[in-house]
Structure 1
Amino acid sequence: MTIATSKLTDPAVRAFVTAVNAGDRAAFLSTLAPGATMSDDGSDRDLTQWIDREIFGPHGRMDVQTESSGGRALVANFTNDTWGEMRTAWRFTVDGGKISRFETGQA
């Protein structure tokens, strides 16, 4: 069962998922704190290169299945034109209403 993006608990995470699903890179970047960092499968990545390669270049989309930790941990079916669909886990650190770090990987 998919959770509607509008029903996600944490406002910063909700804005992040909304921007991903809209393909809106500028809106996505506005959800991030200055100097935000990320990791993929346990390895830190260059955030700008990663989002262009994994999300915005290949039309990434998140269909959220579950949320926990006050909306700051998600399991989603992530789909893009490069990899197809995969079950992914996302964890967010939110400071002052902005995402300072997110970690993703296969769930």
Structure 2
Amino acid sequence: MTIPAAKLSNPAVRALVAAINGGDPTAFFAVLTPDATMSDDGSDRPLAAWAEREIFSSRGHIDVQTEKDGGLALIANYRNDTWGEMRTAWRFTVDGERISRFETGQA
């Protein structure tokens, strides 16, 4: 069962998932702190280049299956035109109303 983005508990995570699914890089970066960082499968990556490659130019989409830790930990089916669909885990660090770090990888 998929949890719609609008029903996610944490407002910043909700906004980020909506931006990913809407293909909206402006909204995506607006919910991140200016110095936000991320990792993919345990390796830190340059956030802007990663987002362009893995989300926006490859039509990324996230279908959240479960959330824990007040909405800061998600299990989701993530798909894009490059890799197809995979089960992924996402963990977010929120600073105020914005995300300062996220970590994703195969679940």
**TM-score band, normalised by shorter chain:** over 0.9
| Alignment match, 2:39 | 39
Aligned match of 1:74: 74
Distance 1:79 1:31 in 2: 21
Aligned identity (percent) is 68
**CA RMSD, aligned part only?**
0.4
Q: Deviations over 1:7-50 (max 9, x none)?
A: 10000000000000000000000010110000000000000110
4+ residue runs over 3 A deviation: none
Secondary structure, aligned partner of 1:88: strand
Query: How big is the shift at 1:4?
Result: 1.1
Unaligned stretches of 5+ in structure 2? Answer: none
Aligned length: 107
Distance in 2, Cα, partners of 1:5 & 1:17? 6
What residue ranges of structure 1 are gaps of 5+ in the alignment? Answer: none
- Are 1:27 and 2:27 counterparts? yes
TM-score normalised by structure 2 residue count:
0.99
Is the partner of 1:15 in helix, strand or coil? helix
TM-score normalised per structure 1: 0.99
Corresponding residue of 1:93: 93
Amino acid at match of 2:57: G
Deviations 1:58-104 (A, max 9, x none): 00000000000000000010000000000000000000110000000
> 1:3, 1:27 → 2: CA distance?
20
Secondary structure of the residue aligned to 1:9 is coil
| In 2, Cα distance between equivalents of 1:59 and 1:30 | 19
Aligned partner letter, 1:86: M
